[in-house]
Amino acid sequence: MTSTTTPHPLHELSERLWAAAIDRDEPAAMRLVTAAADAGVDAEALLLDVVAGVQHRIGVEWAADRISVAAEHAASAITDRVLAALAHHQNPHPLHLRTRGRVTVACVEGEWHVLPARLLAEVLTHRGWHVDFLGGHTPTPHLVAHVHQTNPTAVLLSASLPTRLPTAHNAISALQSIGVSVMAGGAAFGADGRYARLLRADAWAPDAREAAARLDQGLTQHHAGRRQQIDDDLPHLTDQEYTLVVTRRTALVKQSLAALDARWPAMRTYSTAQRERTAEDIAHIVDFLAVALYVDDAELFTGFTTWTAGILHARHVPAAGLHLGLEVLAGQLRDFPRTLTFLKTATEALQAGSHHTGPGITA
Amino acid sequence: MGCARCVPLFVIRSPGTPDRPHGGGVHVSTAWAEAPYPVLVTDSVGDVVETNEAASHLFAQAGEDVFVGSLPDWLAQAHRRPTPAVGPPESASGTVAGRTFEAHPSPGEDGCVVWWLVENTDLHLAQQALQGERERTTILADISSALFSSLNVERCTEVTVRMAADHLANAAVVVAPAQGRRHSLTYTQVGGEVAHKTAAIDPRAVPGLTEALQGFPPVPTRWIDPGDIPDWAVPPGFTGPIGSVIVTPLPGYGMPAGVLILLRSSTHQAFSDGEEVFARLFAARAGAALSAARLYAEQASITTTLLRELLPPKLERLHGVEYAGIYRAAKDHERVGGDFYDVHPGTGDSKETFVVLGDVAGKGLEAAVLTGKIRSVLHALLPLSGDHKHVLTLLNDALMNSHHTRFATLVLASVQRRQGEVRIRLTSAGHLPPLIVRTDGRVEEAATSGTLIGALPEIHAQSTEVVLAPGETCLLYTDGITEARGGPLGDQLYGEERLRTALRECVRMPAEAVVERVQMLASQWLGGREHDDMATLAITTPLGGGGTPHLVGEHDDSRPHDREQ
């Protein structure tokens, strides 16, 4: 949900907002956007080109190790608050003028990247929809209860990290089974929306503008009760590899740590905190491996691996550890043919030295 | 077939019988003449040249003279079909005199064809009945799953009219029970949109409607004169005169859930008795679904009202100090639990804001009810909030004297902004001491301790005062955070050390970002495992930055905000 090219007239504003966000200067950031809004800058351009653009840049700068994770978080918090203030400042239609119908916007459970969903909520509100914004990390039971109580035309579900896809799938089918249409959006669903289609979302949109346009066309009303079981969507899950990898996650991490200890002398000098980081890294690899198995797409895992290599490279960490990590995992998952193919493909991509732009986005 | 005489077929070849000699020079066996099946012989151009007794009888019944006219259409068509090069010639089926037959051809001489007609009327009727029954079952199954999937009254009503229009009639209207003197009406017609309106209508205008709204059995459809139907009972845009009408109650749980009116245009067949029965079956399902949805809506509304007082408040900037809180209940489907927090804006000259965060033993609704009581008591003690020890003693007395056997731990904070910095008086009553994030990245523990509340008749408490420079934060939290069990190895506590490490990175962050970051890290540490209630509340001195933000958040707020110094 970002614009990669900032239109020229807003370029300077974007630069100044970026500087304020990174300087943790919230008042300055607020003044910049409200002044721009007062000066008549188009509301949607301000939201999607300036604020979202800055947020995207924050993610890119973090990936390149030019800002810390905490700085990323602080800057994101400021763009988030700027957005809220802007929404308040622009004084959207009063409720009775929001004639386009009612929709629900939410992030799937476990998804903390709220900004793309908030941007969408603002754009839709601005275009005259009555939007219920449930925010980040919305448990599926809450979402379902909300739909029962408010009867929206559609639910727009946002997820940025691909590891949220199984949860998103659960939410999509639960919502469809109670008869509401679901539009999926956010980087988790793939740059071309392939996972939205795989998980049978009724629609997919690459950004907030497209989502609004898609909503205007009208989503086909879902026929409740026609929704099949989740595993009918993904017949490959019957090989149980996804289930076994997820349920054995902790054991896999522990065994991998032990194997690394034996094979990587550097590990023995690690502090407790460093060992914990390593364990977290392995857990992260297992999580992405699991979700790749879920959607049956080796590319998802390869993308994550090469992106991680890029992140490590930016921090001057040799990728040898990552190689070894994959090898150690393969050693433990010998009976899982699909998993082994994914690990092999990723290892080959690492050797070829390709860098990926990243799993998910930060704006 | 009802033919008593069973003459074996193809037994004897003979030129004919004396009473019915064969004409046309066609040479066939005599057996066929008395065969229990109608038999026709056609010549090469399709004219009938011979019939047996059964066939004459059959066509006489049909009032047709097959010799003069041609064959029935379906048979004529079959006759014109070319004979397949290999295999037996194709049979055909159709009706004669309201009975259905299968006609099997066998080639005769000179291009003649002998058509043997085998009656399958009963089979055909049985198949039709079975198919009809299957369709109805499928429709009912579809209807049930569509109706029962939603617990929303509006959607349920929409599904009811849509399904009724699709499967039962040309148009359908649901009249909901009266709300005062007005009824909510939901309409649709085949292929049309669903429309709603609420209007003061006179139910007596539609025959049987008043009775149906009271739950009496439906009046027979033949009693209703379509001409009597008032305009409000007809979907907007429904054209053509109405031919027939069904008015049937939607039975509910002890009281009617509404009434379904089905309309057919005069160009359409009138409702049959079978359709009336089916409409009642449909109405029974729709009524049950609508009643379930109404019950759910009522319960949800009661729950919302009762929970409103128990939900954590929305926090915002007050008197130049940022407050932010996030609450996560132990169970994902619940919104309340045994943790709580409140921020009471200070009044008077001191403008000292009173903050409380606490944890009641236990979780779930029962614990939440006690948090509600504690919050009320503390609210009432607000005028005494200058003396934390006094407040805690009074609260302790109140809890000791109540029937609750649970106890609580809490932290009190009195917050005041003075010349760009924020002073906080903190008192812990058996609770985890708050953590202070300093601008240089140090994380300090507030030096306060005391006994928990509601367990012992006497309590003691040691208060402390901290000063926050701009960009510094004081975090109040419950043990749900530090006792989150998980991590990459699955069985470790998140612990205070990891929390401190996380907080070291929260220097100069807005309060919202601090609580969000802590909750996110703890949640990721859990990785979907079970957890206790988790509450975090941050008190932050905003960074001066370049000046005063004149926008404070997304909520309307009539309270004047202090300008920063």
Reported confidence tier of residue A94, pLDDT bands at 50, 70, 90: low
CATH number at A20 reads 1.10.1240
Average pLDDT value for residue range A156-181: 93
Testing the interface with A: which of B504, B516, B518, B524 to mutate, by most A Cβ within 10 A? B516
| Pair A83, A203 in one domain | no
Q: Do A27 and B544 touch (CB under 8 A)?
A: yes
Which CATH number fits the domain that encloses residue A123?
A: 3.40.50.280
Q: What is the DSSP letter of B36?
A: S
The verdict on A69 touching B (C-beta cutoff 8 Å) is yes
pLDDT at residue B563 in the model: 34
One DSSP character per residue, B507-551 reads TT--HHHHHHHHHHHHHHHHTT-----EEEEEEEPPP-TTS--S-
Question: pLDDT at position B76, please?
Answer: 82
Is residue A123 located within the same domain as residue A221?
A: yes
Q: Residue B179 gets which letter from DSSP?
A: B
Give yes or no: residues A228 and A103 share one domain. Answer: yes
With an 8 Å Cβ cutoff, is B489 touching chain A?
Answer: yes
Note whether ipTM > 0.95 here.
no
Per-residue pLDDT tens digits for B276-290: 888 888 999 999 999
CA nearest to A28 within chain B: B546
Q: Please identify, among A233, A268, A301, the residue that sits at the C-terminal boundary of a domain.
A: A233
Coil, strand or helix at A352: helix
- Percent of chain A residues topping a pLDDT of 90: 48
Above 70 in pLDDT, residue B373? yes
Q: What residue numbers bound the domain in which A272 lies? A: 237-352
Identify whether A135 is part of a domain.
yes
- How far is the C-alpha of B393 from the C-alpha of A285, rounded, in Å? 53
- Asked if residue A86 belongs to a domain, the reply is yes
Q: What is the mean pLDDT of residues B399-408?
A: 83
Task: Classify residue B53 as exposed, middle or buried by CB count within 10 Å of its CB (0-12, 13-18, 19+).
Answer: middle
Report how far residue B331's alpha carbon sits from residue B532's, in angstroms, rounded to the nearest whole number. 8
Residue B26 pLDDT: 47
Mean pLDDT score across all residues of chain B: 84
pLDDT of the residue at A223: 55
Query: Which among B161, B501, B554, B564 is the top mutation candidate for probing chain A, defined by the most A β-carbons within 10 Å of its own β-carbon?
Result: B554
Residue B167's pLDDT is 86
B-facing residues of A in 73-102 (CB < 8 A) are 73-74, 76-78, 80-81, 84-85, 87-89
pLDDT at residue B173 in the model: 94
**Of residues B146, B296, B508, nearest to A224 (C-beta):** B146
Confidence of residue B69 (pLDDT cuts 50, 70, 90): low
Contact A151 B155 (CB under 8 A): yes
For residue A340, give Cα distances in angstroms to A124, A299, A321, B404: 44, 13, 18, 58
pLDDT band at A1 (very low <50, low <70, confident <90, very high): very low
Does B193 contact chain A (CB < 8 Å)? no
Predicted pLDDT of residue A328:
92
pLDDT at res. B466: 96
Please say whether the beta carbons of A21 and A79 come within 8 A.
yes
A337-351, B229-243, B544-558: which range is least confident on average?
B544-558
Residues A226 and A197 in one domain: yes
Do A43 and A107 have their domain in common? no
Q: What's the number of domains chain A is made of? A: 3
User: Which of residues A91, A126, A158 is at a domain's end?
Assistant: A91
Q: Quick check: B41 pLDDT over 80? A: yes
Over residues A52-92, the pLDDT tens digits come to 899 889 888 887 888 887 788 888 888 888 887 887 776 65
* Same domain for A260 and A326: yes
| Same domain assignment for residues A212 and A165 | yes
**Average pLDDT for residues A308-315, to the nearest whole number?**
86
Q: With contacts defined as CB-CB under 8 Å, which chain B residues touch A25?
A: 543, 545-546
Of A20, A34, A80, the CB nearest to B551: A34
Please count the other Cβ atoms lying within 10 Å of the Cβ belonging to residue B133.
10
Residue of A nearest to B551 (CA): A85
Model confidence over B458-486: pLDDT tens digits? Answer: 999 999 999 999 999 999 999 999 999 99
Chain B residues with beta carbon closer than 8 angstroms to that of A279: 487-489
B148 has a pLDDT exceeding 50? yes
What CATH number does residue A278 fall under?
1.10.490.20
Nearest alpha-carbon partner for B542 in B321, B315, B316: B321
**Residues from chain A contacting residue B148 (CB–CB below 8 Å):** 225
At residue B540, the pLDDT reads 94
pLDDT computed for residue B12 by the predictor: 32
Task: Supply the pTM of this predicted model.
Answer: 0.80
> What was the pLDDT predicted at B372?
92
Instruction: With CB atoms and an 8 Å threshold, state whether B488 touches A149.
Output: no
A108: confidence class by pLDDT, cuts 50, 70, 90: very high
Residue A271 has pLDDT above 90, yes or no: no
- Identify whether residues A12 and A121 lie together within a single domain: no
Residue A355 has pLDDT above 70, yes or no: no
Residues of A in contact with B523 (CB under 8 A): 110, 112, 137
Q: To the nearest whole angstrom, how far is the Cα of B112 from the nearest Cα of chain A?
A: 55
| pLDDT score, position A361 | 37
Backbone torsions φ then ψ of B321, nearest 5 degrees:
-125, 140
Tell whether A141 lies on the interface with B, counting CB pairs under 8 A. yes
Closest CA to B537 of B511, B500, B510, B509: B511
Within 8 A of A282 by CB-CB distance, chain B residues are 488
Distance from CA of B325 to the nearest CA of A (A): 14
pLDDT given for residue A98 in this prediction: 63
Most A-contacting residue of B150, B194, B311, B555 (CB-CB within 10 A), to test interface: B150
Looking at the partner chain, which of A31, A77, A88 has a beta carbon nearest the beta carbon of B509? A77
Distance CA B553, CA B324 (A): 11
Inter-chain CB proximity A250 and B520 less than 8 Å:
no
In a domain, A363, yes or no: no
Q: Is A260 on the interface with B (CB under 8 A)?
A: no
Q: Please, what sign has the CA dihedral across residues B189, B190, B195, B198?
A: positive
d(CA A186, CA A1): 7
**Does residue A119 lie within any of the structural domains?**
yes
Per-residue pLDDT of B420-469, as tens digits, reads 889 999 999 999 999 999 999 999 999 999 999 999 999 999 999 999 99
Residue of B nearest to A70 (CA): B505
Query: Would the pLDDT of A113 be above 60?
Result: yes
Q: Is residue B94 pLDDT above 70, yes or no?
A: yes
**Distance in angstroms (rounded) separating the CA atoms of residues A4 and B314:** 35
Is residue B64 a contact partner of residue B37, using CB atoms and an 8 Å limit? no
Q: What is the pLDDT of residue A222?
A: 58
Residue B516 at interface with chain A, using a CB cutoff of 8 Å: yes
In angstroms, the separation between the Cα of residue B152 and the nearest Cα of chain A is 5
**In this structure, are A86 and A109 located in the same domain?**
no
Q: Dihedral sign for Cα A343, A349, A350, A354, please.
A: negative
pLDDT at A91: 60
Percentage of residues of chain A with pLDDT beyond 70: 90
**Between B70 and A323, the higher pLDDT residue:** A323
Instruction: Please say if the pLDDT value at position B494 is more than 90.
Output: yes
> Are B152 and A68 within 8 A, CB to CB?
no
Percent of chain B topping pLDDT 90: 39
Q: Is residue A27 part of a domain?
A: yes
Q: Please provide the average confidence, as pLDDT, over all residues in chain A.
A: 86
Q: Is B558 in CB contact (< 8 Å) with chain A? A: no
Q: Which pLDDT band holds residue B11 (cuts at 50, 70, 90)?
A: very low
Residue A247 sits at the chain B interface (C-beta within 8 Å): no
A152 in the same domain as A75: no
Residue type, A87: A
CA distance A22 to A78: 9
A189 domain residue, yes or no = yes
Residues A74, A139, single domain; the answer is no
Specify the pLDDT at position B560.
Answer: 35
Check whether B562 has a pLDDT greater than 50. no
A73, A91, A109: which is the final residue of a domain? A91
Chain B CB contacts of A87 under 8 Å are: 554
Asked if B517's CB is within 8 angstroms of A73's CB, the reply is yes
Position B3 pLDDT exceeds 50: no
**Which is higher by pLDDT, B297 or B22?**
B297
- CB pair distance less than 8 Å for A149 and B297: yes
Contact A25/B at CB under 8 A:
yes
Q: How many CB pairs under 8 A join A and B?
A: 146
- The structural domains of chain B, ordered by start, are 16-119 (3.30.450.20), 126-305 (3.30.450.40), 322-540 (3.60.40.10)
Q: How many angstroms away from the CA of A310 is the closest CA of chain B?
A: 23
Question: What does the pLDDT read at residue A209?
Answer: 92
- Mutation site for B-interface testing, chosen from A16, A17, A22, A24 by largest number of B Cβ within 10 Å: A24
| Sheet containing strand B443-445, strands side by side | B322-328, B534-540, B473-477, B435-437, B443-445
The answer to whether A323 contacts chain B (CB < 8 Å) is: no
* A254 inside domain: yes
Residues in B touching A151 (Cβ below 8 Å)? 150, 152, 154-155
> Both A113 and A212 in a single domain?
yes
Residue A359 resides in a domain = no
Over residues B306-363, the pLDDT tens digits come to 888 888 898 988 888 999 999 999 887 788 889 999 999 987 777 899 999 999 988 7
> What is the three-state SS of B316-334?
CCECCEEEEEEEECCCCCC
The pLDDT of residue B60:
81
Residue listed under structure tokens 């007239």: A9
Which residue from B297, B471, B512 is facing A81, i.e. has the nearest CB?
Answer: B512
Q: Which residues of B touch A276 (CB under 8 A)?
A: 487-488
- The pLDDT value recorded for residue B406 is 81
For residue B8, which of B32, B39, B28, B40 has the smallest C-alpha distance? Answer: B32
Q: Which residues of A touch B300 (CB under 8 A)?
A: 145, 148-149
